[in-house]
Structure 1
Amino acid sequence: MNQVLINSRGVSTSLRFNDASFFIEPTTLDGHKSSCCAGIYTSRRVKRTEVPLRNVISAQIASGALEVQYLVRKSKKSRLNLAMTSGTVQNEDSTRAKKWCEALLLAAYQGANPSKNLKVLVNPHGGKGKGRASYVTKVEPILLAAGCTLDVTYTTHGGHAIEIAREMKLGYDALVLVSGDGLIHEVLNGIDQHEHRDQAFCIPIAPIPTGSGNGMSLNLLGLQDGLDVCAAALNVLKGQPLKTDLFSFAQGDRRRISFMSQTIGITADIDIETEHLRWMGDTRFIIGYISAVIARKSCPIELSMKVVDQDKSRMVDVLHARRAGESPTPSSLPSSLLSADNKPDSASSVHREWTQFKRPILWMYAGKGPFVSRALMQFPVSIADDGLIDIAIQEITSRRDLLRAMDGAEEGRTYWKNTNQYFKVSAYRARPLAPKGTLVVDGEQVPFEEFEVDVLNRLGTFLSPFPHYAPEFLVRDIQGNT
């Protein structure tokens, strides 16, 4: 039972599905009772449409009408939009049509309950300031179509999400965050203060990308869907929990949770000095980078790390093997892999003792997840739950070399640059040596002073279509050859 017919004024349409797709096709009514579940009358002629079964949101019959809502693209490169096909069911076919709807939803949600109890936080001021409009016009209709219960709060001030997350109840199926990465940072730090902290961290977070960078959404959904609010809403309904590492960022007796990145030097300057350009979206970072390259300020810093690996080729191999389910986590690599010529500056890295990095640098970027923005795949070999922090350190080089590095940065091509030192570490600490500068954690500026970062293995939970980060890292060298 995988087909129904809809008909209007002599024009009929077949609705059917298989294990992969939902189909809407022009047909005829002749003999339909022997091959379908119901006859349904629609108001207009339709053309053949094939929709991935995952994109089906709802299917129901009420008051003699059958309605199917789904997400569809106008072209391969366009974003998803909510669409609907509907019609009137003949009385004698209503029971069979109802069973058809139930079967379609069972296949589309793979047996899961479409209706979820969701806590929704909307930041109306993030990114280009379109969070409220995007939520009301695109996201909310999708969630309501699936029958979700929505507890919606619009944030009004910095730190508001920390307050909400700290006091929230534990009965939600997911936390839907309509904003950029800053709101995720606030929510995680609020959860860290929750009375039932461990239980609260198990509630999955589902970002809806309306900020500037939207790095986490890109990491969960990939480049095509990572900035698509409808694709992100679909992930709320169909995604599965993905455990990720979080970080403990400590300065003296002050501690905060970090989920994505910590950076100091030029890259930190770019983040803060382009705040006034948020209306431009992630284009602000490109403009900021060009300006920073012209200035090319060095970053005097005392940096120590507990190094696990720095062999770039091996890290790529481990990433691909892990995605294929064929490899242990990099944190379980034997110490013997860290041979003498793989150590940064000290033999102590074999025993994961503190090892200093002493060469002059322009910036240090540490974190988790391939993308920090659409234009920059900063940590291409990052693994969600390997218990490690990826660190990229840019040594001092020419302005020309830095500008050329923009080519292919969205593919992670800078990973292979000789002046880009890349490490996987279990912890690191840094002390700025300049009197003034910028230090940024998850896009938020923090005091410019000594800090230490440790891994909180698998503490974070996000909704994801995949059991790993979505972006693939295929580039094998700086020229782009694979």
Structure 2
Amino acid sequence: MSSEHQGLVTSTSHDGVAISPEDALLLDTHSLIIREDRVTIADKRKSSKKRDASCCGIAGTGKPSDELVTLHNILWARVYISEDKSAVQITSAKELSSRLVKPSTISIPIDDGDLEKADRWVERLLEKAYEGMYLSAAKRFKVLINPHGGPGTAEKIYKTEIEPIFAAASCHIDVEHTEYSEHAIKIAQELDIEAYDAVVCISGDGVPHEVFNGLARRPDARKALNKIAVCQLPGGSGNGMCWSFTGTDAPSLAAVALVKGKRTPFDLVSVTQGDKRILSFLSQSVGLTAELDLGTENMRWMGNTRFTVGFLQRVITERIYPSEIHVKLAIESKEEIRRNASTVRLPPDGEHEYEGLPPLQYGTVNDPVPDDWVAESHPKMGNFYCGNMICMSKDIHFFPAAKPNDGHMDLATMDGDVGRLKAVGVMLGAETGKHFDIPELNYRKVLAYRFTPKNQKDGYISIDGEKVAFAPFQAEIHHGLGVSLSLRPNVYEGPTLV
């Protein structure tokens, strides 16, 4: 049974789910129902002959005459009023293919007498579509486009796939192009952090790396890193950050994820080398992974395919990187890592009692190694990879136990005598958790480490995909220092153990 109250309705639908008064809007020509994960729009004129009298004509059960829109895909809604007509307009991301959505607007006519109840219903819809964040739904984005990143298509991708989504979601957008190396550092250093909710990088992983380090150079670094969410949408060949926070590298789908995204604190890493200190948001690598990244710079025009080609070129060269590493262990056992995969650790009180970057708890690479670090000799190191995100790239989901804010780095090492084919097989098998069962891969959660090359003058060391000097470096985690936007707080999107 159902009852009407000022044009709103309380009812039990055909599927037995109760509909609250705030979630249902009855008009002369249409019924609009907000359900758990979707909105049902029924044209009464098409379905009047099929009404179920016990439900007072409320459609929404998935009949052919109904239009269904998922709450996730709803970008905006409003009551439109003009001299000759009024309407409820609902704009959503309409799926054109598995990798492409475009804004589409449904307009439902309303009478003047329905304006007040329509306003209330639209506000309710936006509240549900943005999961309680209606008042901050129209995000303020500083958009940085790197026109030279990856295959050089960032500008086109933004104009055709990303900008339409941002505009449809009523985002406030300020666009700037990066013009030279480290330009994004300067932009971040001078940014008015009160004017924006997020910096969105249409690029590979290089521009967000610069943004984090620009924020880190400010005198108010702690406040800036906490205030501004830093995000990345596909515009380069390496899109590890986008994959980790949105679960896709399809630009329009990732854009929807950002406009719906929630502020998510995540860990950053300080890396010291010589007298330099830089922030790392994604990974540090030496050996095979670094070779695939940095040794394929001349193939950036290929996009993500460059990593596959780079691998094929390197399979026959069993190169090793003799080294010594020292590790401050947090969780040593793979089984313990698996058991603790769902644990979320909150930063301790008082951790943010500073204005600039947090002080280094373990000193720099120039200081003596702390006594409680574990020393390891690797005369045949083949691959060293340490990160704090789940994805390195589209095809490599390296750490299914990683959490944005767990206060640990994930460290994987493998000696070169394992063989290149098996080494890459382990890397690719990581997304299914197979690497937990491969003894040749040493996988641990760490708080800090030092890497020292031995008996080798040159090679590749990659920090967030950026090449640094082939020299000793040290890294330590900073719990929850950075912020990004993700669909689910404290969760990376992608293959995980939980």
The bucket for the TM-score relative to the shorter chain is 0.7 to 0.9
After superposition, residues 295-310 of structure 1 pair within 5 angstroms as 295-310=317-332
The structure 1 residue matched to 2:217, chosen from 193, 202, 219, is: 193
Q: Secondary structure at the match of 1:189?
A: helix
* Whole-Å separation in 1 of the counterparts to 2:301 and 2:108: 43
The structure 2 residue matched to 1:390, chosen from 401, 410, 413, is: 410
Q: Secondary structure at the match of 2:134?
A: coil
* Whole-Å separation in 1 of the counterparts to 2:91 and 2:347: 43
RMSD, matched Cα: 3.0
**Contact 1:206–1:235 (CA under 8 A) maintained in structure 2:** no
TM-score between both structures, scaled by the size of structure 1: 0.82
* Whole-Å separation in 2 of the counterparts to 1:407 and 1:390: 16
Q: Cα gap change, 1:6/1:78 in structure 2, threshold over 3 Å: closer, same or farther?
A: farther
User: What is the match of residue 176 of structure 1?
Assistant: 200
Q: How many angstroms does 1:195 deviate by?
A: 2.9
After superposition, residues 115-194 of structure 1 pair within 5 angstroms as 115-171=138-194, 172-194=196-218
**Contact 2:458–2:470 (CA under 8 A) maintained in structure 1:** yes
Q: Cα gap change, 1:407/1:220 in structure 2, threshold over 3 Å: closer, same or farther?
A: closer
Q: How many angstroms does 1:81 deviate by?
A: 3.0
Q: How many angstroms does 1:101 deviate by?
A: 1.9
Are 1:231 and 2:253 counterparts?
yes
**Contact 2:399–2:430 (CA under 8 A) maintained in structure 1:** no
Q: Secondary structure at the match of 1:241?
A: strand
After superposition, residues 74-89 of structure 1 pair within 5 angstroms as 74=96, 77-89=98-110
**Contact 1:127–1:210 (CA under 8 A) maintained in structure 2:** yes
**Contact 2:431–2:496 (CA under 8 A) maintained in structure 1:** no
User: What is the match of residue 3 of structure 2?
Assistant: none
User: What is the match of residue 37 of structure 2?
Assistant: 20
**Contact 1:139–1:230 (CA under 8 A) maintained in structure 2:** yes
User: What is the match of residue 241 of structure 2?
Assistant: 216
Q: Which amino acid aligns with 1:21?
A: R
Q: Cα gap change, 1:425/1:357 in structure 2, threshold over 3 Å: closer, same or farther?
A: farther
Q: How many angstroms does 1:119 deviate by?
A: 1.4
Q: How many angstroms does 1:100 deviate by?
A: 2.6
Q: Secondary structure at the match of 1:102?
A: helix
Q: How many angstroms does 1:417 deviate by?
A: 2.0
User: What is the match of residue 127 of structure 2?
Assistant: 106
* Whole-Å separation in 1 of the counterparts to 2:379 and 2:347: 26
Q: How many angstroms does 1:60 deviate by?
A: 1.3
Q: Secondary structure at the match of 2:399?
A: coil
Q: Which amino acid aligns with 1:438?
A: Y
Are 1:413 and 2:413 counterparts?
no
Deviations 1:150-201 (A, max 9, x none): 2211111111100000110121122222212111100000000113211110
**Contact 2:323–2:453 (CA under 8 A) maintained in structure 1:** yes
Q: Which amino acid aligns with 1:248?
A: S
* Whole-Å separation in 1 of the counterparts to 2:428 and 2:279: 33
Q: Cα gap change, 1:105/1:360 in structure 2, threshold over 3 Å: closer, same or farther?
A: same
Q: Secondary structure at the match of 1:473?
A: coil
User: What is the match of residue 459 of structure 1?
Assistant: 481
Q: Which moved more, 1:426-435 or 1:182-191?
A: 426-435
Give aligned-pair identity as a percent: 33
Q: Which moved more, 1:453-462 or 1:137-146?
A: 137-146
Deviations 1:35-54 (A, max 9, x none): 799xxxxxxxx964422213
Q: Secondary structure at the match of 2:293?
A: helix
Q: Which moved more, 1:301-310 or 1:159-168?
A: 301-310
Q: How many angstroms does 1:375 deviate by?
A: 0.8
Q: How many angstroms does 1:363 deviate by?
A: 1.6
User: What is the match of residue 254 of structure 1?
Assistant: 276
Deviations 1:341-384 (A, max 9, x none): xxxxxxxx998424224352212111111110111122222222
Q: Secondary structure at the match of 2:442?
A: strand
* Whole-Å separation in 2 of the counterparts to 1:79 and 1:89: 32
TM-score between both structures, scaled by the size of structure 2: 0.80
**Contact 2:321–2:379 (CA under 8 A) maintained in structure 1:** no
Q: Cα gap change, 1:6/1:84 in structure 2, threshold over 3 Å: closer, same or farther?
A: farther
After superposition, residues 352-371 of structure 1 pair within 5 angstroms as 352-358=372-378, 360-371=380-391
Q: Cα gap change, 1:133/1:232 in structure 2, threshold over 3 Å: closer, same or farther?
A: same
**Contact 1:123–1:183 (CA under 8 A) maintained in structure 2:** yes
* Whole-Å separation in 2 of the counterparts to 1:185 and 1:230: 22
Q: Which amino acid aligns with 1:19?
A: E
Q: Which amino acid aligns with 2:198?
A: A
* Whole-Å separation in 2 of the counterparts to 1:284 and 1:99: 52
**Contact 1:428–1:452 (CA under 8 A) maintained in structure 2:** yes
Q: Any unmatched runs of 5+ in structure 1? A: 38-45, 332-348, 476-482
* Whole-Å separation in 2 of the counterparts to 1:439 and 1:124: 25
Q: How many angstroms does 1:87 deviate by?
A: 4.2
**Contact 2:27–2:114 (CA under 8 A) maintained in structure 1:** no
User: What is the match of residue 428 of structure 1?
Assistant: 449
User: What is the match of residue 313 of structure 1?
Assistant: 335
**Contact 2:341–2:497 (CA under 8 A) maintained in structure 1:** no
Q: Which amino acid aligns with 1:417?
A: I
User: What is the match of residue 351 of structure 2?
Assistant: none
Q: Cα gap change, 1:121/1:350 in structure 2, threshold over 3 Å: closer, same or farther?
A: closer
